[in-house]
Amino acid sequence: MKNFIRIVSIGLFSAFSFTALPAQAAEKLITVTGEAAISVAPDAAAIRIGVSSSAKTAREASDANAKQMTAVLAAIKEAGIGDRDVQTSRLSLQPQYEQGKSGTARLLGFQVTNQLAVKIRNIDTLPSILDRAIAAGANEMSGIEFVVSEQSKLLDQARDDAIADARRKAELFAKAAGVKVGQVLSIVEEGSTPPQRPMVQAMRAGAVPVAPGEQTLKAQATVTYAIVP
């Protein structure tokens, strides 16, 4: 029977154990989990902004909405947003009713809502674009989504750092056990975490305050090394 050395490191908890195994399975291994995180400021944004209009007839509501939305769309494009980054995301026409005392519903008019999904590739221009849209007549916004455009490249960097962290841990445990770290036998990615995308719901006229903050990308990998006596 040979001694089997297995070291497992997960997060902040580590275990060191000796286990006797049959001769044919007595590989000496070190298994550790490496972690890494990269914080980055978003460099792009996506907004949903539009116009809601009401009138006594569907035609009047539609005409008013079309006129107002045309002005909003022109303002957005004048701010430097290309056609490929503007898309209609919602268009609705809804009757508006009032419940009478007798229980019968009375038609008050119609409401038309037209909303655009707009991608802003330069986040520095976001406040001025919002100001322009609001000044042109935009009165509805469902949120702002902050985006890290180079997310894949940054996650790859985090993966590299996670492997380096795993190697550091393996060498630390091997030194304590009086052995050396050998070749890599397996690498399993435990899951890379893209940044959460916070939504900002408030919108007001005038200079629009925008705080994109910072987002964190995380990578985690479990690596098994052979042990060299």
Kindly report, residue by residue over 158-182, the tens digit of the pLDDT: 999 999 999 999 999 999 999 999 9
207 vs 55 pLDDT, higher one: 55
Give mean pLDDT, residues 48-57: 95
User: What is the residue-wise DSSP string for 179-191?
Assistant: -EEEEEEEEEE--
Full-model pTM: 0.63
- Is residue 209 included in any domain, yes or no? no
Compute the Cα dihedral for 125, 130, 135, 137 and give only its sign.
positive
Residue 56 lies in a domain: yes
49 lies in some domain: yes
Select from 147, 162, 180 the last residue of a domain: 147
Q: Other CB atoms closer than 10 Å to residue 28's CB: what's the count?
A: 17
140 within domain boundaries: yes
Q: What is the CATH number of the domain that holds 167?
A: 3.30.110.170
pLDDT surpassing 90 at residue 4: no
Which CATH number covers residue 102?
Answer: 3.30.70.2970
Question: Does residue 190 share a domain with residue 143?
Answer: no
pLDDT, tens digit, 9 for 90 and up, residues 126-135: 989 999 999 9
| Same domain? 126 vs 170 | no
pLDDT value, residue 101: 74
- The H or E element containing residue 63 is helix 58-78
Domain-embedded: residue 198:
yes
Does 210 reside within a domain? no
CB 47 within 8 A of CB 144: yes
User: Which range marks the domain in which residue 220 is found?
Assistant: 2-41+150-203+215-228
- How many domains does the chain divide into? 2
Name the band, by pLDDT with cuts 50, 70 and 90, for residue 207.
Answer: low
Distance (Å, rounded) from C-alpha 36 to C-alpha 28?
26
- At residue 18 the predicted structure's pLDDT band, cuts being 50, 70 and 90, is very low
Q: What is the pLDDT of residues 84-140, one digit of tens each?
A: 999 999 999 999 988 877 778 888 999 999 999 999 999 989 989 999 999 999 999
